[in-house]
Amino acid sequence: MIFDTHTHLNEPRILENLDIYLKEAKDLGINKFLCVGWDYVSSKKSVELANKYEEIYAAIAIMPTEHKSFNEKNFKLLEELLKTSNKIIAIGETGLDYYWEKDEDIKKLQKEMFIKHIQLANKYNLPVSIHCRDAIQDTFDILKEYRVKQAGVMHCYSGSVEMAKEFIKLGYKIAFGGVLTFKNSIISKQVLTTIPLESIVLETDSPYLAPMPYRGKLNEPKFIKKTAEFAANLLKMEENEFEKIIYKNSLNIFHVKTNEDDN
């Protein structure tokens, strides 16, 4: 079984064929999805999907690149969502993105947003899904100073082995997606093969970042299987054995209880 720990099933291109995608994924054993919001509207959509589909869980947040829509009213509305579903299992995606942002004032605003999301996570005792792009040191510094009690997942992790170990010390899992399968992703492969198996989770970030051989295409939910195969192969493990451990890691970090047999 596979738990996709970061996906945007709430994105219009996925949404329009969602039932087909979910069926295709299910046929491959992909049976849990964390649908992640990037602003208030998409977060609300995540929650709607989680309330409708058993296999979907929701994460809500206003992500750093959406700083224009970050204000007190929207953040309050976001918090209100938490009262509408027991399937909101994380705050995310939140973090820092300096790739798209060079303006120092906006970087400062992103940090404030990030801290507010951490406080929200702690208020509701939830883990976080971290978005970090070109901002790894600041992300780490904030996560170290403002501890998330339930820690969370470093989504689409692109840092060094050393930094990965530091995040792991804080309790975080490291998520691998399609990028792992790209030929030039050498460090990502090093991270995967160096960190403990217990710290690994998988994701699609669908509809973005499709794995090989679909690179550049719409990343369909079922493509996570390609990443799983690729990772198991790199680790020289039986795919089943690998998936079993990774699935358990995902359930643990998001506190998802299941009546499946994998105790």
Q: Pick the piece of the chain touching Zn ion (CB under 5 A) from 83-91, 117-125, 164-172, 197-205.
A: 197-205
Say which residues have a Cβ less than 8 Å from residue 199's Cβ, sequence separation at least 6: 164, 168, 172, 173, 174, 249
Contacts with Zn ion: how many residues (CB under 5 A)? 1
Question: Closest residue (Cβ) to Zn ion?
Answer: 205
Smaller CB separation from Zn ion, 208 or 214: 208
- The answer to whether the CB of 43 falls within 8 A of the CB of 61 is yes
Q: Pick the piece of the chain touching Zn ion (CB under 5 A) from 21-29, 142-150, 184-192, 199-207.
A: 199-207
Q: What does the alpha-carbon distance between residue 212 and residue 70 come to, in Å, rounded to a whole number? A: 35
Angle, CA 117 vertex, CA 139 and CA 39 arms, to 5°: 100
Q: Pick the piece of the chain touching Zn ion (CB under 5 A) from 68-76, 136-144, 200-208, 218-226.
A: 200-208
> 202-231 in b/e burial notation, b at 16+ Cβ within 10 A?
bbbbbbebbbbeeeeeebbbbbbbbbbebb
Residue with tokens 């339930």: 150
Residue 209 C-beta: closest distance to Zn ion, Å: 9
Binding string to Zn ion for residues 48 to 87, with x set by CB under 5 A, is what?
A: ----------------------------------------
Smaller CB separation from Zn ion, 205 or 220: 205
Residue 259 C-beta: closest distance to Zn ion, Å: 29
Site of interaction with Zn ion (CB under 5 A):
205
